[in-house]
Structure 1
């Protein structure tokens, strides 16, 4: 447990149980003593030296600008005197990854309504991000937060600007959801989020990952084993065209997932196109017949919270994001 501290942070919030941990640090469930709300507080492992550094953190920068019901809300960023940064988020009950694992253990499958509803909301959040000039880069079930019928995109620390000149990296996106162009060190963009969305859609039906590779090569082999080796590699940059794909015919997706609706299989196949230029945008995917029912009756969003701008707070003062 965290020690008692007379600072602003610990007078404002009462810390409860630890609900998550990773290379970034850890996440705690906490109680806001001023508003009575339950919140999630991410404690970053790396220290920050100045407010300029805080404002330049990708996750803070983007969440201060974003206002969408399907992207998790950052309520406050608080820096303590020792340089530790605390990010205060709206609280969500669980991650989609945990929900899927729990359902797998119980042999409890998602209903068609749940799958369409959740995927509809994820794509709406992605559409918002892409229209605002950035893509997530690490879309996976553990980075999607769930409360009841509501799902929100979280963990934007790896997000990149669509028009940035950032160097291409292999180690973006968790391996099981990593698009072929990333695995092959080729050029990539927002279409990598759409590939990940295809893998997540499949996981809703399977309650286990579609491509659980052990390494980069094994990941590509598993993709070829399901989709068949690509015939057209014109989408690869020249330096990646030397790669020799394993020659596999592939398996029809509907053979892997029985009793899955035809429109779901069609959308999955579209999202999992080898060529990133042939994958749908988030807006195009939302117009697929798979989501017709979602437009007829859209679910309520009880977790939506649109309030004042994010407060960036320090023990030395308070700065409000514009």
Structure 2
């Protein structure tokens, strides 16, 4: 089997002596992901092979995703088991998860098999736990979407931290951040952004779990704003807009309440999604605040729920950092 990183057969390889590669389970601009077998422990793992080779071991350790994953220890963030850098290639060895939430949604859509509200509650609770951990440890994900959430049984974990940023970073504004359908208005309109972009993405993911299709599916930045306005209407509050877009002419639409789009969805679920999908990022709940929303009350009451493997309710509120547009 070729992994796209051929080695001389006579040269001993730590990677290929420890792991037996199986099938390719993912591919993207970063490289590819293989299902593999750990010959020492007998464990199944996922090995992410990066396309861009690194010069040294120090370079590999300084990659943002690697630094964060080495620091993090949370049940709802995927575990980095090992970093292997040899012969100009870099491999990240992760715990193996069955599939992405994106694949699960697509499979359900093909079968016309909608998630129950309790399933959605369980998934969203765990995702928010992971986000709360990230935000409290000083960074935000920047690319939250169903394909970056990995599922095994009833457990879901945040993955692919390659786009993550520090909350108090002074880095310049990035032109491309977050996959378009899950991109917050402040990013689309070149305004200052912070951890609230993850909360917007959380709202779109929650809606997609109910609908089995993306809530806002624009094919470019302009049509993405159009799609958002088509459902949320034009924002009344423009205080969050940057100087270059404060006079932006929004498409004029009458707001469509989410309970019109979604049938048999509880008032609490609709209320939480509405809050998460606030135009103004300062009006979106933090992850900690979202976890205290009445929608998640069953997670704290029913001890047998998988989403209750995480300690007592937490206090509301946290400090958001902002990356400034330049």
How far has the Cα of 1:250 moved from its partner?
1.9
State the aligned residue count. Answer: 302
How far has the Cα of 1:248 moved from its partner?
1.2
Moved over 6 A (4+): none
Matched residue, 1:272: 277
1:257 aligns with 2:271: no
Matched residue, 1:312: none
Residue number among 137, 144, 162 corresponding to 2:149 in the alignment = 144
Matched residue, 2:189: 184
- The normalised TM-score by structure 2 is 0.90
Q: Distance in 2 between matches of 1:212 and 1:179?
A: 13
* Paired residues for 1:1-322 under 5 Å: 1-2=1-2, 6-81=12-87, 83-297=88-302, 299-300=305-306
Q: Distance in 2 between matches of 1:103 and 1:47?
A: 37
Q: Is the 8 A contact 1:169 1:185 kept in 2?
A: no
Q: Distance in 2 between matches of 1:140 and 1:200?
A: 7
How far has the Cα of 1:57 moved from its partner?
0.6
User: Gaps spanning 5+ residues in structure 2: where?
Assistant: 311-326
Q: Distance in 2 between matches of 1:240 and 1:270?
A: 23
How far has the Cα of 1:168 moved from its partner?
1.1
- The normalised TM-score by structure 1 is 0.91
How far has the Cα of 1:52 moved from its partner?
2.1
Q: Distance in 1 between matches of 2:242 and 2:202?
A: 23
> In structure 2, the residue corresponding to 1:273 is in which secondary structure?
coil
User: Gaps spanning 5+ residues in structure 1: where?
Assistant: 305-322
